[in-house]
Structure formats: structure tokens, C-alpha cells
């Protein structure tokens, strides 16, 4: 497990692995005197570091300790012991140490966290800090777990996201495994600001949950009140339904009488209409018979080439327009022969 940041004696600053790799010349790994921490350098404990470039197997570039240095005396770097005991990276150890200082440095029972006390579980593969809250926010949270994730696969599987765990317990998850080497050196942004944002998100989730609970209670109370109203309404409606049913029966009786009357009127109208249709049919039959007789008289004249003073050319022309094409042609020929072309109509209409 390598380091992503190191104390650079020559510049008296902490630098990222990216900064260190840019200082290298070709394959020369020297970039200066590197240590895990400034305090470790001053006390000559902990680990002196060197740079390792990215491997062909995809392993990322990192700082690594010089083999065998300052381990004979047992004076190990505290963060190295922490990372080994937690099965985590040195980046995790750095964030853990910084969070320990940050959380314990926050003034107790003050906004926004209202901290009562901080504790650190001793077990491995679980959350890293317990934050207990005072009564000022006990309606929302009494405890919040803080989890830092980097390389411990068991923790990564167990802790997925910031969420409300149960009741008034919340959980904040900070995944430093997603940070670049440069971002891992910026605890103010990647640690403190991230923690505050996740706390705001957790609070909003809790507020939304409380709103849902309040709404559910209001709906339940409203449902109970609705049942009471419904019983009272049903009792009042029983008499009203009886009165309405009586009124409806009277209306049905009245409607039935009106319907019977309307049916009788319909039958009378239908009888009258039938008489009219019969009269019209008789008139049409008479007219058709009259037209048939006229056609017979006309064709007698045409066939015999005779002239009848009672059936003049205008009447014959009128009858011709009611005939089929062949018969009309026959009559027009007759008119042409006996009366001239002036009496011939439009044969092709």
C-alpha cells in the first residue's frame, strides 16, 4: 500500500505523487529527500520514501518506503500502523488522522453538527467514527457514522452511500478511492467540504423523511375523521334516501304515464303517416299510369307516323325526355320528320 503524498524536505512542503513524478529526470528516481511526515523526518522515525512509477500491470504511481529503514528499532510511523491494522492505504490513514483532529476540534453543541462527543470503534471493517449529537437535533439525529473508503474491499461492499441507517442514526460515506493524487493532498476540500456537503444531504433526507411521516400521520388522522364523518353522513343519508326513493317512485310513475301517452301519440302519428304514404303511393301510381298511357299513345303515333292534334310536338318532346336513349331517338326522328329540326331536344344529355 503506497503513499499518494509525502513530505519533501527540499521544498519543506507536502507534495503529491504527480508533483514528484514531474521532478524525475528520465529513469532517475531521485526527486529529493522524501518522508511519510514532517514530524517523522524531524524525529527520524517512520518511513523514508522513494517514488515508484506506474506499472505495466496498471498499478498506479505512488510513494513507497525504503526497504528496512527505521524498522529495526520498532519506531514505526503511526499512520503506517493505522493503515496496516485497518487493511487500508496510507491515504486512508492520512484522512483518518485529519478527520480525528477535525472532529475533535469542532466546538461542541454548536451548529451545524451539534456534537456531544466523538468515539472511534476498535473493530476492523466497520465505520471509522461515531458522532453523537446533543438534544438540539435529537428529533432528526442522535448519532452519525462516518466511513472513509479507499482499499478495504470488505468495507467497500458493506458501505455504499450516505444515507439514513435506521431511526435517528445517519451514515456519511466519503470515498477517497475516487480522488486523484493531487486531490488526496487537499483535505480541506476532499475531507472537510465533502463532510459538510454529505451532512447537508443527510439532513435534507431526514427532513424529507419527517415530512413523509408527518404527512402519513395527517392522512391517517384525516382517514379516521373521514370514517366518523362517513358514519354520520350515512345515518343522515338513510332518511334522505328514503325520501328520495319515494320522490323517485312518483317521478317514475309520472314518467311512465308520459311515456305511455307519448307512445299513443306515436302510434297516431304513425297511422297518419301510413295513410299519407298510402295516399302518396296511390297518387304516384296514378301518375305513373298516366305517363305510361301517354307513352303508349305517343308510340302509336310514332310507329304509325300519324299526327294527333291532342298530342302536339311539345308534349311529345316532354315525353321523349322521360324515355330511354333508344326510345328517345325514335321519337326525335318522328319530330324531325313531321315538325322539323326545331323540335328536336339534346339527345346526348
* Domain assignment of residue 267, yes or no: no
Task: Give a yes or no: residue 281 inside a domain.
Answer: no
Residue 279 lies in a domain: no
* Per-residue pLDDT at 2: 64
Band of residue 99 on the pLDDT scale cut at 50, 70, 90: very high
Residue 18: pLDDT band with limits 50, 70, 90 = confident
Q: What confidence score (pLDDT) does residue 75 get?
A: 56
* Top-ranked range on mean pLDDT: pick from 38-47, 193-202, 318-327: 193-202
Backbone angles phi, psi at 6, to 5 degrees: -155, 155
- Residues 128, 30, single domain; the answer is no
Q: Is the pLDDT of residue 73 over 80?
A: no
Whether the predicted pLDDT of 72 surpasses 50: no
- Shared domain for 67 and 113, answered yes or no, is no
Query: Could you report the per-residue pLDDT of 111-164, keeping only the tens digit for each?
Result: 999 999 999 998 888 899 999 999 888 888 999 999 999 988 899 999 999 999
246 pLDDT higher than 80:
yes
Q: Dihedrals φ, ψ of 26, to 5°?
A: 60, -130
CB atoms within 10 A of CB 277: 10
Is residue 130 within 8 Å of residue 121, measured between CB atoms? yes
- As for how many domains the chain has, the answer is 3
144 and 178, same domain (yes or no): yes
- 113 vs 294, higher pLDDT: 113
Shared-domain flag, residues 310 and 338: yes
Structural domain that includes position 48: 5-76
Tell me if 298 is assigned to some domain: no
Q: Is residue 228 part of a domain?
A: no
pLDDT at 8: 92
213 has pLDDT over 60? yes
- CB-neighbour burial class of residue 172 (10 A; exposed 0-12, middle 13-18, buried 19+): buried
- Reported as a pLDDT band with limits 50, 70 and 90, residue 343 is low
Q: Is 126 found in the same domain as 71?
A: no
Q: Are residues 49 and 111 in the same domain?
A: no
Task: Based on the fold, state whether residues 180 and 119 are members of the same structural domain.
Answer: yes
Query: Looking at the domain assignment, is residue 237 inside a domain?
Result: no
Over residues 41-57, mean pLDDT: 81
**Cis omega (within 30 of 0) on the bond before 75?**
no
Whether the pTM exceeds 0.85: the reply is no
262 within a domain of the structure (yes/no): no
Residue 96 in this model has a pLDDT that exceeds 90: yes
Q: Looking at residue 324, what is its pLDDT?
A: 81
Mark whether 94 and 205 lie in a shared domain: yes
Q: Which of 186, 210, 234 is the last residue of a domain?
A: 210
**Boundary of a domain, candidates 210, 228, 250:** 210
| Domain endpoint, select from 76, 100, 116 | 76
Cell numbers that stand for 186 in this block: 487537499
Residue 165 lies in a domain: yes
Which DSSP symbol is given to 2?
Answer: -
Same domain, residue pair 104 and 46: no
144 and 40 in a single domain? The answer is no
Spatial separation of the C-alpha atoms in residues 302 and 296, rounded to whole Å:
10
- Specify whether 63 is located in the same domain as 99: no
Q: Are residues 46 and 142 in the same domain?
A: no
- The pLDDT value recorded for residue 302 is 75
Amino acid at each position: 500500500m503506497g503513499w499518494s503524498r509525502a513530505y519533501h524536505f527540499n521544498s519543506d512542503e507536502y507534495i503529491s505523487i504527480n508533483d514528484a513524478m514531474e521532478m524525475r529526470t528520465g529513469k532517475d528516481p531521485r526527486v529529493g529527500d522524501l518522508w511519510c511526515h514532517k514530524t517523522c523526518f524531524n524525529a527520524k522515525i517512520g518511513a523514508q520514501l522513494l517514488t515508484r512509477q506506474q506499472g505495466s500491470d496498471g498499478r498506479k504511481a505512488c510513494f513507497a518506503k525504503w526497504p528496512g529503514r527505521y524498522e529495526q528499532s520498532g519506531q514505526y510511523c503511526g499512520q503506517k500502523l493505522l493503515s496496516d491494522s485497518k487493511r487500508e492505504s496510507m491515504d486512508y490513514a492520512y484522512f483518518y488522522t485529519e478527520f480525528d483532529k477535525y472532529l475533535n476540534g469542532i466546538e461542541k453543541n454548536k451548529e451545524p453538527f451539534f456534537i456531544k462527543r466523538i468515539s472511534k470503534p476498535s473493530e476492523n471493517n466497520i465505520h471509522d467514527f461515531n458522532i453523537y449529537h446533543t438534544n438540539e437535533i435529537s428529533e432528526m439525529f442522535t448519532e452519525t457514522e462516518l466511513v472513509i473508503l479507499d482499499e478495504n474491499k470488505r468495507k467497500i461492499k458493506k458501505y455504499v452511500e450516505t444515507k439514513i441507517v435506521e431511526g435517528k442514526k445517519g451514515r456519511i460515506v466519503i470515498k477517497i478511492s475516487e480522488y486523484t493524487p493531487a486531490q488526496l493532498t487537499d483535505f480541506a476540500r476532499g475531507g472537510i467540504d465533502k463532510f459538510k456537503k454529505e451532512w447537508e444531504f443527510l439532513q435534507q433526507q431526514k427532513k424529507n423523511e419527517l415530512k413523509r411521516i408527518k404527512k402519513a400521520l395527517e392522512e391517517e388522522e384525516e382517514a379516521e375523521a373521514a370514517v366518523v364523518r362517513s358514519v354520520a353522513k350515512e345515518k343522515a343519508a338513510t332518511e334522505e334516501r328514503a325520501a328520495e326513493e319515494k320522490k323517485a317512485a312518483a317521478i317514475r310513475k309520472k314518467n311512465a304515464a308520459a311515456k305511455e301517452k307519448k307512445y299513443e301519440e306515436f302510434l297516431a302519428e304513425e297511422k297518419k303517416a301510413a295513410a299519407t304514404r298510402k295516399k302518396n303511393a296511390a297518387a304516384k301510381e296514378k301518375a305513373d299510369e298516366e305517363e305510361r298511357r301517354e307513352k303508349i299513345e305517343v308510340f302509336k303515333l310514332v310507329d304509325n307516323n300519324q299526327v294527333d292534334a291532342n298530342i302536339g310536338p311539345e308534349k311529345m318532346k316532354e315525353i321523349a325526355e322521360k324515355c330511354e336513349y333508344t326510345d328517345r331517338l325514335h321519337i326525335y326522328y318522328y319530330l324531325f320528320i313531321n315538325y322539323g329540326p326545331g323540335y328536336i331536344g339534346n339527345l346526348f344529355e
